Structure 1
Amino acid sequence: MKGGLWSRCLGFKPEHHWKKELAAGAISYFSVVYIVMVNATILADAGIPLQGAMLGTLLTSMIGCLLMAFGGKSPMVVVPGMGINAFFTYTLVHSMKLSWQEALMVVTITGILFAIVAFTSLYKLISQAIPHNLQHGITVGIGLFLTFIGLQKSGIVIAHQTTFVAIGHFNDPKVITACATLLLAIVLFVRNVQGGLLISILAGTGLAYVLGAVEPASTVRTSETVRQYGQLFGELSFSGIVSVAFWIAVFLLLLIVLFENIGMIAAQTNMIGRPDTFKNSLRVLAVTNIFAGILGSSPAVAAAESTAGIAAG
């Protein structure tokens, strides 16, 4: 495979090994797959059918990842952004009183405006206006953000009214599982074991079932999922397009999507040592966001969890 036609077609450099690439890809997948359920749950609070929202999330991610692989040529996972989905539901729909159909139209128009910026010289003006120190700081911020999410989701830290966060209960099976998995990951990392993070994820998943930290999910009927998605796909509404609230929503969402993606992509392309892929990666995200509204999802971003796969090779 080394130096062969197959390697050139896949874009592998000679020093890259296909096993390492597969392991890194698997790590990226397992690091980010939770977003399918979390995003759908948040969108369901806006009135979108839950199972339809799951399928919309999957389709948006699939299209985004394929475009990023073959168009952006960067190892970034494209998914609906955490935080932006909450803005979609709790600000656009609950606070600004847009229907979820109107909010999906906001997403699509935002994607079109994002594409205008990405496919013109405007993106250079905006990206150059962001100081390099801030771009490097975003890389550190991504790591801290992921660390806090992990500590919170595992129960190691919990919410507290006075101090905002507090230490969780270490007799909780979730906390025990998280600590054991983290310890295993650190040991494998120190010993430089190839695919160590993937091994840790699989071992931690097995331990979670043994300790009762998770339960097997109930069966989902495919026909019901397809039926719900039929009520979601392409359900964009122009009814609020003449209102001031609608265009305020477009402006706010554009700022969030634009600056978050510029920061994320700049940080991650620098991590892989290929800043030249920034332009195409940004354009891929812009096109994906046009599809996001049509497919029934909140805006997409270059997932912060992509750094786990990048770190693994």
Structure 2
Amino acid sequence: MKGFLDSFFKLKERDTDWRREVVGGITAFVTMAYIIFVNPQIMSAAGMDPGTVMLATCLASAAGTLLMGLYANAPFGLAPGMGINAFFAYTLCGTMGYTWEQGLGAVLLSGIIFVVVSVTGLRSRIIAEIPLHLKKAIGVGIGLFILYIGLKNASLLTFTADPGSFVPLGGGMKLDSSIIPTLSFASDSAKLALIGLFLNVAFLLRGTKGGMLLGIILTSALGCYLQFFSGWQLGLHLPGAMPVGNLGDTFGKCLSGVMQLFDISNGIGTMLLSVFSVLITMTIADMFDTIGTVLATASRANLVDEEGNIVNGERILLADAAATVMGAFFGTSTVTTYVESSAGAAAGARTGLAAVVTALLFGGSIFLAPFLGMVPAAATAPILVVVGILMSADIGGIDWHDLEKAIPAYCTMTIMCFGYNIADGIAVGFVTYSFVKLVVGKWQDVTWLVRVLTVIFLVRFGMMLL
């Protein structure tokens, strides 16, 4: 067995052994495992059953990570991506009014696009065409959006109107106090979430491995005690008191979702623009996230050669793309490579054997499904706040003294958060960037891809005015 492992995963060649790989795989899983509980909370906002989403999350993560380990021989863990799952639930199925079946159809189509551009090598070229400050602004904007969602789910922000209609782009902003979010600590959920937030921040500052998962466990345990022994209202259920979920409710529904996406009852033009806008947003958001994560994690795992190229880079990107397709069939949002994999690399992981270990642990996690009802939103919401903070790290990489960069970046970030729409934020960013370059006489600096996207987004906004 040792000989097979060494030959297949090239352990000696990468200066590692099976023990280090196992430890690295376990470490990566522990740092990623919070998604098992967070993703169902987010996706439930799209009308999906949390128990079913949990099963889909475990299986999609296991399948994608296993593919990464066996095909790309890379120690990367994959799971439904934070940020893109928020886009799925709150923008696509919330503000834009799509059903979750249509959302899964969009995930499937975007995954197919990822596969095509990965096989043809277009993925790297497309990313290179988009200005760096816009890439950073998109990441920061999604981070702010997630932080906003976290505060709302924690009941730390209260509304008397549906927050999904708060400051919609083109919908007419009403300065009505009834739709302005207010900071509140009145509810039991808000009090528990505040404790969870302090716990997670403390673990983050202390560099505790698996701190997010530990935060969920401790906050949930405290919540169970407070509800069952002190009468707090947290909506928790004992194991067995709620359905675990049936994967058959979501498996393969992405195919019917694709058919629903191409419904021409509202006109072919409207349908094409709407679908194209959704796919562009999902594709761009995932591409930036994946490339940045892979570069950072590969460097930590010593998988970058002397010329700065990622070892097995094409296979890694293709495995990531294929994982999105598999995730769509299982019934979850875009599956992508996790930056938490770097924790496994720091523990010694260098090969796909670590990913196989991580995949097996995700597969075994389906037995945690009966305990999902014991995890309150107050335990997962602080994770969104912490992840939002981490995703905002690139804000310092934007030159705010250069107005040509600052204006598009600022518009991208603020529209995403305050307009409650990731897609609109990206669209406004591209349009504003092109406008700025046109005004200052630098239209030649605008790449062909940005020009095409700008025209498409302008047409979309124009139709909103009609």
Q: TM-score, structure 1 length as denominator?
A: 0.73
Does the C-alpha gap of structure 1 residues 179 and 45 become closer, same or farther in structure 2, counting only changes over 3 Å?
Answer: closer
Does the C-alpha gap of structure 1 residues 72 and 131 become closer, same or farther in structure 2, counting only changes over 3 Å?
Answer: farther
Question: Counterpart of 1:256 in structure 2: which amino acid?
Answer: A
Q: Distance in 2 between matches of 1:299 and 1:102?
A: 13
Does the C-alpha gap of structure 1 residues 247 and 34 become closer, same or farther in structure 2, counting only changes over 3 Å?
Answer: same
Percent identity between the two aligned chains = 27
* Number of aligned residue pairs: 278
Which structure has the bigger radius of gyration?
Answer: 2
Q: Distance in 2 between matches of 1:233 and 1:308?
A: 31
Question: Counterpart of 2:296 in structure 1: which amino acid?
Answer: A
2:72 aligns with 72
1:109 aligns with 109
* Contact 1:180-1:204 within 8 A present in 2 as well: no
Does the C-alpha gap of structure 1 residues 103 and 7 become closer, same or farther in structure 2, counting only changes over 3 Å?
Answer: same
Q: Distance in 2 between matches of 1:221 and 1:253?
A: 36
* Contact 2:79-2:335 within 8 A present in 1 as well: yes
Superposition CA RMSD, Å:
3.9
* Contact 1:292-1:298 within 8 A present in 2 as well: yes
1:257 aligns with 286
2:121 aligns with 121
Pick aligned residue for 1:218 from 234, 238, 249: 238
2:434 aligns with none
Matches within 5 A, 1:12-91: 12-13=11-12, 15-91=15-91
Q: Which runs of 5+ in 2 are unaligned?
A: 158-179, 184-190, 226-235, 265-270, 304-309, 349-466
Other structure's SS at 1:290 match? helix
Deviation at 1:174, TM superposition (A): 4.5
Question: Counterpart of 1:305 in structure 2: which amino acid?
Answer: E
2:94 aligns with 94
Moved more, 86-95 or 250-259: 250-259
Q: Distance in 1 between matches of 2:241 and 2:87?
A: 30
* Contact 1:40-1:51 within 8 A present in 2 as well: yes
Does the C-alpha gap of structure 1 residues 114 and 107 become closer, same or farther in structure 2, counting only changes over 3 Å?
Answer: same
Q: TM-score, structure 2 length as denominator?
A: 0.51
Matches within 5 A, 1:1-313: 4-13=3-12, 15-129=15-129, 174=196, 197=209, 212=222, 218-220=238-240, 224-226=244-246, 229-235=247-253, 236-237=255-256, 238-241=259-262, 242=264, 243-244=271-272, 245-274=274-303, 275-313=310-348
Deviation at 1:56, TM superposition (A): 1.1
Other structure's SS at 2:296 match? helix
Deviation at 1:39, TM superposition (A): 0.8
Q: Which runs of 5+ in 1 are unaligned?
A: 187-195
Q: Distance in 2 between matches of 1:133 and 1:103?
A: 29
Does the C-alpha gap of structure 1 residues 103 and 201 become closer, same or farther in structure 2, counting only changes over 3 Å?
Answer: closer
Question: Counterpart of 2:282 in structure 1: which amino acid?
Answer: L
* Contact 2:85-2:333 within 8 A present in 1 as well: yes
Deviation at 1:281, TM superposition (A): 0.7
Deviation at 1:7, TM superposition (A): 2.4
Question: Counterpart of 1:240 in structure 2: which amino acid?
Answer: L
CA deviation string 1:52-96 (max 9, x = no partner): 111111111111001000112111110000010010011111111
Question: Counterpart of 1:239 in structure 2: which amino acid?
Answer: Q
Q: Distance in 1 between matches of 2:96 and 2:201?
A: 41
1:190 aligns with none
Q: Distance in 2 between matches of 1:207 and 1:38?
A: 15
